[in-house]
Amino acid sequence: MHDLVVRGGLVVDGSGSAARAADVAVRAGRIVAVGAALGSARQEIVADGLIVAPGFIDVHTHDDRLPLVDPAMAAKASQGVTTVIAGNCGISAAPAPRQASPPPPLTLLASKSAELFRDFARFRAALEAARPSLNMVLFAGHSALRAAVMDDLSRPANRRELDAMQAMLREAMDAGASGLSTGLYYPPSQAAPPSEVEALLDLVAEHGGLQTTHLRDEGDGLIEALDEALDSAHAAGVPLVISHLKCASPRVWGLARTALQHIEAARGRQSVDFDVYPYDASSTMLRPDRLRGARRIVVSWSEPYPDKAGHDLAVIADGWCCSPGEAAERLSPAGGIYYKMQERDVRTILAHPSAMIGSDGLPHDRHPHPRLWGTFPRVLGHYVRDLKLISLESVVHRMTALPARVFGLADRGRIAEGMAADITIFNPDLIVDRASFDEPLRPASGIERVIVNGLVIREGGHATGVRPGRILTRHDMRSRASQAEPAS
């Protein structure tokens, strides 16, 4: 007797091979059979006309503290996501900064340092106590390490500070972090030279971890910034993931193909992957010094002026009779949505056969970018079904098996016997993102059921209240994989 059988669906198994009609049986949190006539089960799910896919892996999130605020993780569960990778862009919920108020962009996670965690062991314990619905993979952020150790962030770390950061990074990795994220674009890390990053990456290499990076520059200096990231990761021998690849200034519009060729060329000497979100606007902290090149900027949150969330920066500046830069100063700490990419570059990157999908959603923003609630259904509805830019099988692969391999999640990302039962069932004709720039909090439709570790966490557009998520680590995966290996 199985715990659960999904009958009558079209299985897109994550490998990239063609969809096929098959039933899927689950027992004790694992997929135990895929095929026909699988026998009876305590719970039957009828999936006629629906796609049965591995649960989606959101490879780029800032969901570190989301389980503490919303353990159902509705913004992601509603999109069919079953695992989130958190701690990106140099920003993580541990270790907490020395200052009582986190320096931006750590404010994207919390406005007070007291809401962050002294070390990863405490952070992980808090997540586990919250019992999230989804699985999580954690990264330690370079900016967080700097803010935890340094009083002056405007210079490179000295020897003593580097030692302290290494000790904290070691603690993070021992507590289950999968590696280091960097965000040299951001003020707390801008002064860090490659040697500082490489010293930390050496430690990541020792632990078998990887690096995710928000490049130093996604605008005019995109290609140089790509080279810097590739060289540092190569020097340390660490696999690299370039986060939210984009061409974000008029001078680099049209260079998506060039950037991709750069990455492909680097693959001859090192392990490098990348992700993208399906929108031509970005979102991050509002930086008065980085307003240039955007067609339009919308405030996503502001601590001193919360009522300005959702308003145009230019209109606010007009009302205040000041420049947009001055308005941004007054609004800070704040976040913004920047319209500064071209759709053709977004499509070129999205169409690349190894582009992973990462929402980069900001769950604590008052008026967030719609990518928080819309990313995965938007790719499947808008780009796959409506525009036919990419095939369903290719994109499901890049949402599941590919990220599972990149992040060392050996038993996730495929519908196959023995895999953890993370399963998303959706209607390919109806799936659509409903979150828009004007109404960013509207859940997507077309996701019929979401199963995490063998348990249904969402059905009919509602959370079931079951919360079986786990903290996943590369280390666990490696030891489990080696245990599972038959002696040969």
Residue 214 or 364: the one with the smaller Cβ distance to Zn ion is 214
The nearest distance, CB 214 to Zn ion, in angstroms, is 3
The nearest distance, CB 350 to Zn ion, in angstroms, is 17
Residue 88 or 424: the one with the smaller Cβ distance to Zn ion is 88
x/- site string to Zn ion, residues 197 to 226, per CB under 5 A?
-----------------x------------
The nearest distance, CB 227 to Zn ion, in angstroms, is 18
Choice from 34, 50, 89, 317 touching Zn ion (CB under 5 A): 89
Whose tokens are 């019929």? That residue is 448
Residue 336 or 381: the one with the smaller Cβ distance to Zn ion is 336
The nearest distance, CB 315 to Zn ion, in angstroms, is 26
- CA-to-CA distance for 237 and 466, rounded, in angstroms? 40
When asked if residue 168 is in the footprint of Zn ion (CB under 5 A), the reply is no
Residue 5 or 334: the one with the smaller Cβ distance to Zn ion is 334
- CA-to-CA distance for 290 and 300, rounded, in angstroms? 16
Give Cα separations from 217 to 84, 88, 323 (angstroms): 25, 16, 24
When asked if residue 2 is in the footprint of Zn ion (CB under 5 A), the reply is no
Footprint (CB under 5 A) of Zn ion, residues 92-151: none
Q: Choose the stretch contacting Zn ion; rule: CB under 5 A; options: 88-96, 200-208, 265-273, 412-420.
A: 88-96
The nearest distance, CB 233 to Zn ion, in angstroms, is 16
Q: Choose the stretch contacting Zn ion; rule: CB under 5 A; options: 66-74, 84-92, 265-273, 301-309.
A: 84-92
The nearest distance, CB 282 to Zn ion, in angstroms, is 9
- CA-to-CA distance for 1 and 40, rounded, in angstroms? 6
The nearest distance, CB 141 to Zn ion, in angstroms, is 10
SS3 of the chain: the string is CEEEEEECCEECCCCCCCCEECEEEEECCEEEEEECCCCCEEEEEECCCCEEEECEEECCCCCCCHHHHCCCCHHHHCCCEEEEEECCCCCCCCCCCCCCCCCCCHHHCCCCHHHCCCCHHHHHHHHHHHCCCCEEEECEEHHHHHHHHCCCCCCCCCHHHHHHHHHHHHHHHHCCCCEEEEECCCHHHHCCCHHHHHHHHHHHHHCCCEEEEECCCCCCCHHHHHHHHHHHHHHHCCCEEECCCCCCCHHHCCCHHHHHHHHHHHCCCCCEEEEECCCCEEEEECCCCCCCCCCEEEEEEECCCHHHCCCEHHHHHHHCCCCHHHHHHHHCCEEEEEECCCHHHHHHHHHCCCEEECCCCCCCCCCCCCHHHHHHHHHHHHHHHHCCCCCHHHHHHHHCHHHHHHCCCCCCCCCCCCCECCEEEECCCCCECCCCCCCCCCCCECEEEEEECCEEEEECCEECCCCCCCECCHHHHHHHHHHHCCCC
Residue 403 or 428: the one with the smaller Cβ distance to Zn ion is 403
Residue 214 or 371: the one with the smaller Cβ distance to Zn ion is 214
Q: How many residues bind Zn ion (CB under 5 A)?
A: 2
Q: Choose the stretch contacting Zn ion; rule: CB under 5 A; options: 66-74, 83-91, 141-149, 413-421.
A: 83-91
Is the CB of residue 141 less than 8 Å from the CB of residue 96? Answer: no
The nearest distance, CB 351 to Zn ion, in angstroms, is 22
Residue 216 or 434: the one with the smaller Cβ distance to Zn ion is 216
Residue 338 or 426: the one with the smaller Cβ distance to Zn ion is 338
The nearest distance, CB 189 to Zn ion, in angstroms, is 11
Q: Residue 363: is the preceding peptide bond cis (ω within 30°)? A: no
Residue 70 or 360: the one with the smaller Cβ distance to Zn ion is 360
- CA-to-CA distance for 355 and 260, rounded, in angstroms? 10
Maximum Cα–Cα distance for the chain, whole Å? 75
- CA-to-CA distance for 295 and 465, rounded, in angstroms? 42
Residue 277 or 426: the one with the smaller Cβ distance to Zn ion is 277
The nearest distance, CB 416 to Zn ion, in angstroms, is 33
The nearest distance, CB 2 to Zn ion, in angstroms, is 42
Residue 65 or 214: the one with the smaller Cβ distance to Zn ion is 214
The nearest distance, CB 215 to Zn ion, in angstroms, is 9
Residue 89 or 313: the one with the smaller Cβ distance to Zn ion is 89
Sites of contact with Zn ion (CB under 5 A): 89, 214
